[in-house]
C-alpha cells in the first residue's frame, strides 16, 4: 500500500513503520494477551514500555541527567498555564513574541504571574523575522523567559537558542518546542524547561512532553493542581495519575524508529537534521525560484518544519489544493489566521514527499502562469 504524503501541521503524519507495528501489536502486545490500551499503567508490561521510551528519548535528545523527562497531558496550551503555575513564583516573567503560539502563551501567563513583560516582538514585521537576542533586555529578577522555538503557524524558527547568560540574565529559558522537537539537536546548556505536544513530531495527540531542570521543581503556586505540579509528576515517574499510556507507547515506537534512521554518516536526531535541512532547502528553493509562489519569512528565520507559502494569484488556491489532493498531497491548506498554503515537513515526511510537492507546484505553475 502506498500512502499519500500528508503535510498536516498537527496532528501530523506518523512513520508508516510505526503505525504498522502498533497495528500488529494492537490486540496482543508481546504475548501478554493484552493490547497496550488495556494494560494497567502499574503492571510490569507497561512499566517496561515506559522505561524504554524514556531511556530512548533521553539518548536521542542527549538530555543531561539533571533534567527530568515528564509525560503529561493537556497539550501545549495547558503548558501555557502549567509553566507559570510551576515556575513564575507569582513574580515577573518575560516573553519574546514571535508568532501566534508565543502570543497565546504570554496571554495565558497573565492569569498566574504578577507581571508579564513582552521584552521583544516580531509583530511589527508581521512575524516574518525574529528579534535579535543581542538586543533583548530581560527584566531584572524575572522567574523565567519564554520563547516558542519554532512558530508552527508563522513558519519562523530559532536556528540557535538564545544564550541568556551571555545577556547577563540568570533566568531559566523556557522553550515551547512542540513543532520541532526531535527535528534537530537541543543545546540543553541554554534551557531550563522545554515542552511540547506529541502530535507534531513524536506520536499521537494526548501526550505532552516536558523536560525540566531539577532545580526548577518544587516551586509551584499553592493553586497549582497536583496532577500538574512538576515535582509531584516527577516524584511519581509521570504516574501520579494515569498517564496517556497509548501516547507513550506510540511515541516510544517513534523513538525506536528515530534511532534506526541513518543519513550521511549520522544516526538518530543528527540524521533527521540532515534530512530536514535537505527537505526544507528543496521546498524553499522551489518557492524562491518561482514567480508564482512566495514565502515572506526572512531567509535566516525560516522554519525547517513548517513552510507557509502563498500563490501570488490567490484566486487559484482552491484549484491548487484540489489538484494536490488528486496527486496524493494532503492537508496543504494554510492556517486560517495566515491563509495561503502551509507544508509541514516533520520527521515522518520523506524527501520523496517534498519532491512530489515541488514537482506538482512546478506543473501547476506551468499550467496556470
Ligand X SMILES: *Cc1c(COP(=O)(O)O)cnc(C)c1O
Binding interface with ligand X (CB under 6 A): 10, 75-77, 101, 148, 152, 176, 178-179, 197, 200
| In the complex, minimum distance from the CB of residue 87 to ligand X, in angstroms, rounded to a whole number | 17
**Catalytic site includes residue 101:** yes
| In the complex, minimum distance from the CB of residue 75 to ligand X, in angstroms, rounded to a whole number | 2
291 CB-side CA count, 13 A: 3
Short-list 267, 312, 274, CA closest to 294: 312
29 is in an annotated binding site: no
241 is in an annotated binding site: yes
Strand partners, 41: none
| In the complex, minimum distance from the CB of residue 109 to ligand X, in angstroms, rounded to a whole number | 14
210 CB-side CA count, 13 A: 29
**Catalytic site includes residue 318:** no
Residue 95 vs 101, nearer CB to ligand X: 101
Output the CA–CA distances (angstroms, integers) from residue 187 to 192, 193, 231, in the order listed. Answer: 11, 12, 23
Catalytic residue among 29, 94, 101, 229: 101
Contact 19, 253 (CB under 8 A): no
| In the complex, minimum distance from the CB of residue 76 to ligand X, in angstroms, rounded to a whole number | 3
245 is in an annotated binding site: no
Residue 102 vs 143, nearer CB to ligand X: 102
**Catalytic site includes residue 336:** no
Residue 230 vs 320, nearer CB to ligand X: 230
Catalytic residue among 200, 231, 279, 333: 200
* 24 exposure class (CB count in 10 Å sphere: 0-12, 13-18, 19+): exposed
Residue with the closest Cβ to ligand X?
75
Short-list 74, 72, 73, 118, CA closest to 94: 118
Catalytic residue among 56, 68, 94, 176: 176
What is the separation of C-alpha 209 from the centre of its chain, rounded to a whole number of angstroms? 10
d(CA 339, CA 336): 5
187 is in an annotated binding site: no
42 is in an annotated binding site: yes
| In the complex, minimum distance from the CB of residue 99 to ligand X, in angstroms, rounded to a whole number | 8
C-alpha cell recorded at residue 83: 509553566
Output the CA–CA distances (angstroms, integers) from residue 179 to 45, 59, 87, in the order listed. Answer: 30, 20, 22
101 is in an annotated binding site: yes
Residue 114 vs 118, nearer CB to ligand X: 118
Short-list 25, 87, 46, CA closest to 212: 87
Residue 77 vs 330, nearer CB to ligand X: 77
Q: What residues form the annotated binding site for L-glutamate?
A: 42
Q: What residues form the annotated binding site?
A: 42, 101, 152, 176, 199, 241-242
Q: What residues form the annotated binding site for pyridoxal 5'-phosphate?
A: 101, 152, 176, 199, 241-242
Known catalytic residues are 101, 176, 200
Amino acid at each position: 500500500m502506498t500512502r499519500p504524503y500528508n503535510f498536516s501541521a498537527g496532528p501530523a503524519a506518523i512513520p508508516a513503520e510505526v503505525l504498522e507495528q502498533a497495528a500488529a501489536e494492537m490486540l496482543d502486545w508481546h504475548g501478554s494477551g493484552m493490547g497496550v490500551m488495556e494494560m494497567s499503567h502499574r503492571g510490569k508490561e507497561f512499566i517496561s514500555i515506559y522505561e524504554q521510551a524514556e531511556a530512548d528519548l533521553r539518548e536521542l535528545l542527549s538530555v543531561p541527567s539533571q533534567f527530568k523527562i515528564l509525560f503529561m497531558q493537556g497539550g501545549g496550551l495547558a503548558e501555557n498555564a502549567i509553566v507559570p503555575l510551576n515556575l513564575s513564583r507569582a513574580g515577573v516573567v518575560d516573553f519574546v513574541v514571535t508568532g501566534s503560539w508565543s502570543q497565546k502563551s504570554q496571554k495565558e501567563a497573565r492569569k498566574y504571574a504578577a507581571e508579564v513583560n513582552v521584552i521583544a516582538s516580531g509583530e511589527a514585521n508581521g512575524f516574518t523575522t525574529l528579534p535579535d537576542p543581542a538586543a533583548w533586555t530581560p527584566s531584572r529578577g524575572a522567574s523565567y523567559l519564554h520563547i516558542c522555538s519554532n512558530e508552527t503557524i508563522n513558519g519562523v524558527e530559532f536556528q540557535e537558542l538564545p544564550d541568556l547568560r551571555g545577556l547577563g540574565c540568570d533566568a531559566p529559558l523556557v522553550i515551547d518546542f512542540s513543532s520541532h522537537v526531535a527535528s534537530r539537536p537541543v543545546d540543553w546548556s541554554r534551557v531550563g524547561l522545554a515542552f511540547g505536544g506529541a502530535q507534531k513530531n513524536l506520536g499521537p495527540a494526548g501526550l505532552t512532553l516536558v523536560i525540566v531542570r531539577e532545580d526548577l521543581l518544587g516551586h509551584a503556586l499553592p493553586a497549582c493542581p497536583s496532577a500538574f505540579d512538576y515535582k509531584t509528576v516527577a516524584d511519581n515517574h509521570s504516574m501520579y495519575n494515569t498517564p496517556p499510556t497509548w501516547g507513550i507507547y506510540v511515541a516510544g515506537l517513534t523513538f525506536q524508529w528515530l534511532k534506526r534512521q541513518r543519513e550521511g554518516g549520522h544516526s538518530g536526531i543528527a540524521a533527521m537534521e540532515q534530512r530536514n535541512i535537505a527537505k526544507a532547502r528543496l521546498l524553499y528553493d522551489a518557492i524562491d525560484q518561482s514567480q508564482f509562489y512566495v514565502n515572506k519569512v526572512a531567509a535566516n528565520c525560516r522554519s525547517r518544519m513548517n513552510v507557509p507559502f502563498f500563490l501570488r494569484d490567490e484566486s487559484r488556491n482552491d484549484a491548487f489544493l484540489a489538484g494536490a489532493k488528486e496527486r496524493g498531497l494532503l492537508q496543504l491548506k494554510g492556517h486560517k489566521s495566515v491563509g495561503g498554503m502551509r507544508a509541514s515537513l516533520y520527521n515522518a515526511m520523506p524527501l520523496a514527499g517534498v519532491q512530489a510537492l515541488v514537482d506538482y507546484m512546478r506543473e501547476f505553475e506551468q499550467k496556470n502562469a
